[in-house]
Amino acid sequence: MHSNNSRAAVVRRRSSSLQWERAGKSALRKEGGNNMVHKLAIVAFNLALAASCLAQDGLVIRTNNKQGRPSDAESVYISACSAVEREFRINRPIRPRLTLVIGADENRAYWGAREIRLTEWDPYLFAQGVVIFAFQDLLPDEEGMAVAKRAVTWADSTVDAKRLAK
């Protein structure tokens, strides 16, 4: 009989420890869930901050004293770059370095200076300029020269069928 009581005690100990482990795991899950939400919030914040930094690194905005800084310039910049990425199925982010000048004498893009000058803020003209500069970044000078060389090579390698018949 003593052995039955000891078995019952062992079973009770095992069952009570098992319940404790189960309770401990559910408590951990609850803690882990809160911890996971906290971690996801931190990741989301860091991604937003990184996107903002990318926009600021590629885009510089200058205004004259009469014009205010447009609040949506950075979002138009990112959106135009993303549109080029999607259109040409580019996997890497394209963020051309350029300067937006608002309050210029005329609406114009300067290739060498990589500037878009606008008399007043116009998101459509700005987006057009960003797309042009982003397109240039798609095919840098070295790659453009390689494509041109391939084009000439292909043109020289094709033969007209009439010339072969002679």
The rounded average pLDDT for each run of 10 residues, N- to C-terminus, in the chain (166 residues) is 47 40 41 66 60 63 82 94 92 92 93 93 95 87 86 80 68
Sequence spans of domains, the chain = 59-138
147-to-35, 69, 85, 157 alpha-carbon distances in Å = 51, 40, 20, 15
Q: Report the pLDDT value the prediction gives residue 116, as an integer from 0 to 100.
A: 96
Q: Report the pLDDT value the prediction gives residue 57, as an integer from 0 to 100.
A: 67
Q: Which residues of 75-86 are buried (b: 16+ CB within 10 A; e: fewer)?
A: ebbbebbeebbe
Q: Report the pLDDT value the prediction gives residue 77, as an integer from 0 to 100.
A: 96
C-alpha 18: how far from its chain's center? 48
Q: Report the pLDDT value the prediction gives residue 43, as an integer from 0 to 100.
A: 66
Distance CA 96, CA 24 (A): 53
Q: Report the pLDDT value the prediction gives residue 136, as an integer from 0 to 100.
A: 85
Q: Report the pLDDT value the prediction gives residue 22, as an integer from 0 to 100.
A: 37
